[in-house]
Amino acid sequence: MGKPLLWLFGPQFVVGYDIMFVAAFVMNVTLCIALVPRFGGHGAAAATSISLVFETVLLFWIVRWRLGLHVLAFGKPD
């Protein structure tokens, strides 16, 4: 569902899908390996949540860096 959702924002955003997928997948697997043995299901939930936040921050940074867009609803662009 990532590519169709990104396409809603324009064709430039679809380019970021691969790095989003790789970053979120690697981060989620790494955190699951670290957290699940100790915390079980709660560790899996935390790993997924943390990786999604990381993916969102990474996408924000890429959009701002590559396209020069300030995508927050508050604050001033640099």
Residue-wise pLDDT for 58-77, tens only, equals: 877 877 777 777 666 665 65
Higher-scoring residue by pLDDT: 51, 65: 51
Those residues whose C-beta lies under 8 Å from the C-beta of residue 64, and which sit 6 or more positions away, are: 70, 71
Q: State the total domains in the chain.
A: 1
pTM of the model: 0.65
Let me know if residue 54 belongs to a domain. Answer: yes
Q: Tell me the mean pLDDT in the region 21-45.
A: 92
Domain that holds residue 52: 8-66
Those residues whose C-beta lies under 8 Å from the C-beta of residue 16, and which sit 6 or more positions away, are: 6, 59, 62, 63, 66
Let me know if residue 78 belongs to a domain. Answer: no
Q: Is the dihedral of CA 14, 1, 71, 63 positive or negative?
A: negative
CA distance 71 to 76: 10
Q: Is the dihedral of CA 54, 55, 60, 62 positive or negative?
A: positive
pLDDT digits (tens, 9 = 90+) for 5-30: 777 777 777 777 777 778 888 889 99
Let me know if residue 53 belongs to a domain. Answer: yes
Higher-scoring residue by pLDDT: 39, 67: 39
Let me know if residue 73 belongs to a domain. Answer: no
